[in-house]
Amino acid sequence: MKGTLFRIAGGLLIVAAVIGLVISLTGLVWIWRMEKPALTMLTDTADLLDQTFQSTTQLLEISNSTLILVKDTLEITQTSLEDVAVAMGTTKKITTTTAKFLGDDLAGVIGETEAALKSVQKSAGLIDDTLRVVTRLPLVGARYAPDKPLQESIGEVADSLKSMPNSLEEIQSNLNATSKDLTTIQKNLDELAVSLTETETQITEAGAVLTGYRNVLNASQNSVSLFRENLARSVRTLAVAGTVLLVWLLISQIGLAIQGFDLISRKLE
């Protein structure tokens, strides 16, 4: 009974040793056959990652350049809007002053001028009558017979001024409306300039984010470059380590087979 157990145990040890030997030898062959393909595959992968990082970095550079260009353009636009808003404010003041001058001061002057002409017209009538009477005297020897009497001429001038105050008041009303429109336009320009300032701030923040991304990509690219430089040595180190492990396993399997044969030999004795 004891011999049978030794025989069974020895046979199992021998079978296990054979299986271990096959696995070890297969592993050794596989390791050294796969070293070069594995190195090639890992190198291609590292190259692909490096190219991806380079392309992404270039894209980030283009995006950053575009943001800088947009920011500069917005700054120029903002400055122009502020200048236009200032010009609008100045124009509004000029328009308001002009409206007051035309509707109040100049209209008043014309009204006073018209009143003065009316007074002069009456005096001109007296002058016309006097000249007619005087020129009829035999001693004068001249006749006063103008095509248009002085009173009538002055009256026409006064009549031509009648509509001017109303016209000036209408112009004043239009200028005041224009001044209000300019105020609205100036306000809108100021609000747009503030909005552009906020947009510039957002662009600056986006640029900071792009800088962070670029730093991450640079660090990753450096890591990939370092990995690729040490790849051949690392693969060879792993292959050697695997070989040492399998050789140790192979030797242990030989020892295991010897133990199996020893058990069977005990049975045969």
Whole-angstrom distance, CA of residue 39 vs CA of residue 230: 11
| Residue 6, pLDDT above cutoff 70 | no
Give the model's pLDDT for residue 7: 67
| Extents of the domains making up the chain | 2-268
- Across the chain, mean pLDDT equals 75
Give the per-residue pLDDT at 128: 60
Q: By mean pLDDT, which of 6-20, 51-65, 88-102 is the weakest?
A: 6-20
Residues 85-139: tens digit of each pLDDT: 788 788 878 878 877 777 777 777 777 777 777 777 677 666 666 656 555 555 4
Q: Please, is 137 exposed, middle or buried when counting C-beta atoms within 10 Å of its C-beta (0-12, 13-18, 19+)? A: exposed
In which band, very low, low, confident or very high, does the pLDDT at 140 lie, cut at 50, 70 and 90? very low
Instruction: Note the pLDDT of residue 267.
Output: 46
Q: Is the pLDDT of residue 179 over 70?
A: yes
Task: Find the mean pLDDT for residues 235-246.
Answer: 82
pLDDT class for 26, splitting at 50, 70, 90?
confident
pLDDT at 192: 81
Percent pLDDT > 90 in the chain is 0
Cα(15)–Cα(127) distance, integer angstroms: 155
Residue in this structure with the two tokens 């021998």, named with its chain if needed: 14
Residue of 13 and 66 predicted with greater confidence: 66
Residue 3 has pLDDT above 70, yes or no: no
CATH tag, 2-268: 1.10.287.950
190-234 tens-digit pLDDT: 888 788 788 878 888 887 877 887 888 788 878 878 877 777 788
pLDDT greater at residue 31 or residue 144: 31
Burial of 109 (0-12, 13-18, 19+ CB in 10 A): middle
Choose between 252 and 2: higher pLDDT.
Answer: 252
Is the predicted pLDDT of residue 53 greater than 70, yes or no? yes
